[in-house]
Amino acid sequence: MAKPAKVDDSHIRHFIGVEGLTKAQLMAIIEKANGYLTDNDGRPNSIKNSNELEGYTVMNLFFENSTRTRTTFEVAEKRLGANVLNLDIARSSTSKGESLRDTLWNLEAMTADIFVVRHSASGTAHFMATEVTPNIAIINGGDGWHAHPTQAMLDMLTIYREAKKPFEELSVAIIGDIKHSRVARSDISALQTLGVKDIRVIAPKTLLPKGIERYGVQVFNDIDKGVVDCDVLIGLRIQNERIGSPLLPSTSEYFKMYGITPERLALAKPNALVMHPGPMNRGVEIASSVADGEQSVILKQVNNGIAVRMAVLALAMEGQRKMKGI
């Protein structure tokens, strides 16, 4: 379901998920995003502006709340010179009973060129791209438990810039609620496509999907064993609704058993990267001393997210133009 429409190894028509994309296409996104990052004015990782979307209109359709993803998309769109419209979902026609299909057709009629979509229902972006508005570039900003492809690509860009070794030589551990995490699914797919052979998932049995082993990952229930000699540790957010349920008795218990602490970080490679998609729950998924420590690249992930979203938007629009012969 997540396979995006491909144009060639440098362009994508939509960006629904990382599944189905080639290594060349993922590297095209990484390299384009990396090209936006610069050291202008002595500030590391500042971002170049571009006029690649000048004259085009991007509509952000966030049917699910998200401050960080929505904000970084909006910044990315404006840095590309696009006209940006944010749909107020709470007051939109869908809240008054209009179908999603009719809402999208009306928005398409307003000369939109790109829809950035976030929705609680898995498959919404795919539905839009294939059934409703195929002539508009659809960018998936996260759908249900299914996929979060731009988060995966900003994670890949961060690893590319910070790990100082090829993807093929890396050991990567993903720690936390694997079962309900669209970030974990997208990260695993992207890492595999880029050639990472040692991917580890670390979680209690209650937070692991059945049959996760068939995706080519090593499964650990013991974090102290799972992080040994890893190059990258990616912590996942524990959602509040899981706490106090049979899946997760308490935050203190989770931190005791699975929190990323200095002691556990010391079991990994000496310069191992610490990552987290945010927002972080300090003292639950990660110790503050680790989150703020020298090996943490969490704030760099946020900055890289702008560059990656710029790259995805620009490449998708180029792909749409190429498909239309413009």
The residue ranges of every structural domain in the chain are 6-147+302-324, 149-301
What was the pLDDT predicted at 1?
39
In 3D, which of 60, 59, 32 has the Cα closest to residue 47? 32
What was the pLDDT predicted at 92?
62
Looking at the DSSP bridge assignments, the partners of residue 138 are: 115
Rg (CA), the chain: 19
In 3D, which of 212, 157, 206, 154 has the Cα closest to residue 183? 154
Work out the number of other CB atoms within 10 angstroms of the CB of residue 192: 18
Tokens of 150: 């731009």
Domains 6-147+302-324 and 149-301 share a fold: yes
Work out the number of other CB atoms within 10 angstroms of the CB of residue 22: 12
Task: Work out the angle at residue 155's Cα, subtended by the Cα atoms of residues 74 and 126, and round it to the nearest 5 degrees.
Answer: 60
Positive or negative, the CA dihedral 85, 89, 91, 92 is positive
Cβ contact 257:204 at 8 Å: yes
Determine the distance from the C-alpha atom of residue 214 to the mean position of all C-alpha atoms in its chain, rounded to a whole number: 22
Judging by DSSP bridges, how do beta strands 114-119 and 83-86 pair with one another?
A: unpaired
What was the pLDDT predicted at 281?
92
Judging by DSSP bridges, how do beta strands 57-62 and 114-119 pair with one another?
A: parallel
What was the pLDDT predicted at 3?
47
The matching CATH number, chosen from 3.40.50.1370, 3.30.300.130, 3.10.20.310, 3.20.20.70, for 149-301 is: 3.40.50.1370
Give the separation between CA 299 and CA 307, rounded to whole angstroms.
Answer: 13
In 3D, which of 63, 137, 73, 74 has the Cα closest to residue 100? 63
Give the separation between CA 74 and CA 306, rounded to whole angstroms.
Answer: 9
> Structure pTM?
0.91
What was the pLDDT predicted at 299?
95
CATH of domain 6-147+302-324: 3.40.50.1370
> Mean pLDDT in runs of 10 for the chain (326 residues)?
53 88 95 87 75 96 85 97 85 66 88 91 88 90 86 98 96 95 95 98 93 93 98 90 63 92 98 95 96 97 96 91 71
